[in-house]
Amino acid sequence: MDTKTLGNKEVYRFSLIERISHGVHGVAFIVLLFTGLGVLLTGFQPAMKILGGIEVTRNIHRIGGAVAVVLVVVGFVLEPKFRGWITSSFKFGKDDFAYVKNFPVEFFGGHAPFPPQGKFNGGEKMNIALMFISCVIIAITGFIIWFPAVFPQWLVQWSYPAHSGFVLLLAAVFLMHFYLGVLHPDSNQALKGIFFGWVPAKFAREHYEEWFDEVAEEEPEKIKVVS
């Protein structure tokens, strides 16, 4: 496809359920990180007062965590595509490695060539895979920590480092995700897409050539002209 004609077009990248799921996940992540930080860092405990103290914060963290798990599972049931993405994110190919290799150049605002990418590029696949593994572990260990009397002591003991270790990992990933989605002048063109579904077609073609060409061929109604 010719990129010259794409300047005034947009492509539909994220469905409503995808966007809602991302929102639920994002809000839950921030709420749970904030309400959990008081336990991770003693110095952060005074901040819990704005929520009504540590007792209230604990309840928000536990119930919020349970609600988030349920909502994410509902999202999975409603949007069958999720499953495919998760499994495809664990299939890391030559093109994905090539993308990741050149990613640091992009990160700091340069341009480096990379092979055509599918709906999610190598970096995003890493993000999805890490998110998926970490969230499963965090949810399970969180449940164990919530009811320590029900589980064997060694399991409770190992749940503490697992819970906070994967949270810290995700906190670093989250910072990166925020930068790329909001602050990075090239990749933040996708920000619009996660709220409204449509992203600039030129951006999509440049970053996800394989996916874009597939959409153009199979679902041309998902590409529209904007004034």
Partner 1 sequence: MTKKMVFVDTSLCTGCRACSVACKAWNELPAEKNKLITSYQSQKGTTPKTWTYVSFHEKYENGKMKWLMFKHQCYHCEDPSCMKACSSKAISKTKSGYTVVDYDKCIGCGYCVANCPWGVPKVDKTTNKVRKCTGCIDRVENGLEPACVSTCQPGALSFGDRDQMLKKAKDRLAEVKKTHPKANLYGDQIMGGTTYLYLLLDDPDVYGVPASPAAPVSLTLWKDIIHPLGGIAAGVAGAAIVLGVVANAVRGNYSKRLEDNAGVESHIDGEGR
Nearer to partner 1, 108 or 220 (CB): 108
Q: How far is the CB of 200 from partner 1 (least distance, A)?
A: 9
Distance CA 205, CA 210 (A): 8
DSSP β-bridge partners for residue 198: 12
Query: Phi then psi for 223, rounded to 5 degrees?
Result: -120, 125
Nearer to partner 1, 13 or 184 (CB): 184
Distance CA 24, CA 29 (A): 8
As given in the structure block, the two tokens for residue 112 are 């480096």
Q: Which amino acid is at 28?
A: A
Residue in the structure block whose two tokens are 């995808």 = 18
Q: How far is the CB of 60 from partner 1 (least distance, A)?
A: 14
Nearer to partner 1, 71 or 169 (CB): 169
Q: How far is the CB of 25 from partner 1 (least distance, A)?
A: 19
| Residue 189 contacts residue 203 (beta carbons within 8 Å) | yes
Nearer to partner 1, 82 or 203 (CB): 203
Q: How far is the CB of 108 from partner 1 (least distance, A)?
A: 4
- 220 three-class SS: helix
Q: Which residues bind partner 1 (CB under 8 A)?
A: 3-5, 7-8, 38-40, 42, 45, 54-55, 58, 107-111, 148, 153-154, 156-158, 160-161, 164-165, 167-169, 171-173, 175-176, 178-179, 183-186, 202, 206, 227
